[in-house]
Amino acid sequence: MSPLPLAVDGHHVLAVPDTTDLLTLASAWFAQADWLTAPVTASQARSRARPMSGARFRGMVADPEPQPGELRLTWEVSARGPYPLPPDAAHALGLPARSYDLYAVVPHEDPSRPVADPGVLAWMSAAARRSAGAILPADRAQVVVPDPRSSVDLTLWSAVALAPEAAVPLVRPLLSGSRVAVATGLPAQHGEPGGPGDRGGPAAPAPYELVATYPYDGEVRLRFSRSSEVPVVLTALDWREYGPFAYRVAWLPPEDAEYRADSVTPLHAIARGRIAPYVARAVSALARAAGGAVVDSDGYLVDDAELAARAASTSR
């Protein structure tokens, strides 16, 4: 017998630890995310419970039931839940024995079919990785548990444009051997000077790239560019907290096939653990010099405490 509630049958299910705020995870990707119907938690249900009527029930209170809600992700798709999954049921599914909340991701047009929107499916993976959760595909063939440690790359979005000669001294002590691989000639991206969507504005350095190469661990690349489009998560911030100049610090492992894979070799995990702190330290140095907001490769904000933890880590 399946430990999953009948309400999620036939749908892709996002399982997140029961302390997770799903609206926060959704709002980072979808500007229109909002509760269409807010869920009623067990504690809220108990507070609303009324004594049962009738002499034989005097003093008794009906056992209150939590009620799932409906969270709009896009105009076409919603997440319905939470449906509680207790630790023993989670363990039976191959998950850590802790309490989870389950959300069925349902298309509005045909709620009887599993959602197929690639953007929503990508969000489910990102949300599961960010929250240390899991995905239960509609066919229940296997439980997918994205590794939070696979989110290595970071981007600083700043209002300050640092020229290559200013950026190199900041990152070279942290990314040993880093050099300017391309100072000019990178193709202009959307919104960059000379690129599609360029609306003019203050002059900024041309796009450039710094590269640090490691014999066994691949490369770390810092790419500076200007963009007219920013991640959705930044739109919730005050406009003075970020800017259009992106400093993308990315790891290129020796074996591309394992990058962001659900299962990696021990050698890949060791290399990732060595490189990830350096990526965070480089972004931290850039942030101290230029200011701005940091976003991870899954589109979520990285605050100062998390950035410091990433920089100090020896196992990420």
**Domain stop point among 83, 114, 146:** 146
Domain count of the fold of the chain: 2
Per-residue model confidence as pLDDT tens digits over 73-103: 999 999 999 999 999 999 999 999 999 999 9
Indicate if the pLDDT at residue 228 is higher than 70. yes
Six-digit token string for 176: 């040993």
Q: Rg of the chain over CA atoms, in angstroms?
A: 23
Domain co-membership, 229 together with 281: yes
**β-strand partners of 17:** 100
Q: Burial-class residue 208 by CB neighbours within 10 Å (0-12, 13-18, 19+).
A: buried
Last residue of a domain, one of 105, 130, 146: 146
Tell me what the mean pLDDT of segment 52-69 comes to.
Answer: 63
Q: Are residues 177 and 288 in the same domain?
A: yes
* Tens digits of residue pLDDT in 5-15: 999 999 999 99
User: In this model, does residue 203 exceed pLDDT 90?
Assistant: no
Domain presence at residue 1: no
DSSP 41: -
User: What is the C-alpha to C-alpha distance for residues 135 and 127, in angstroms, rounded to an integer?
Assistant: 9
Q: For residues 159 and 288, state if they share a domain.
A: yes
Domain boundary among the residues 125, 146, 167 is at: 146
- Shared domain for 180 and 134, answered yes or no, is no
Q: Measure the CA dihedral 239/228/250/314, to 10°.
A: 10
Segment 123-134 shows an average pLDDT of 97
Same-domain status, 85 and 157: no
- Whether residues 76 and 95 fall in one domain: yes
Same structural domain for residues 118 and 50?
yes
- Mean pLDDT score of the chain, rounded to an integer? 87
Residues 169 and 239 in one domain: yes
The range of the structural domain enclosing residue 11 comes to: 6-146
Same domain, 109 and 165: no
pLDDT of 264: 84
User: 179 and 109 share a domain?
Assistant: no
pTM of the complete model: 0.85
Residues 142 and 174 in one domain: no
Residue 263 is predicted with a pLDDT of: 74
The secondary structure of the chain in percent helix, strand, coil, rounded to multiples of 5, reads 30, 25, 45
Identify whether 245 is part of a domain.
Answer: yes
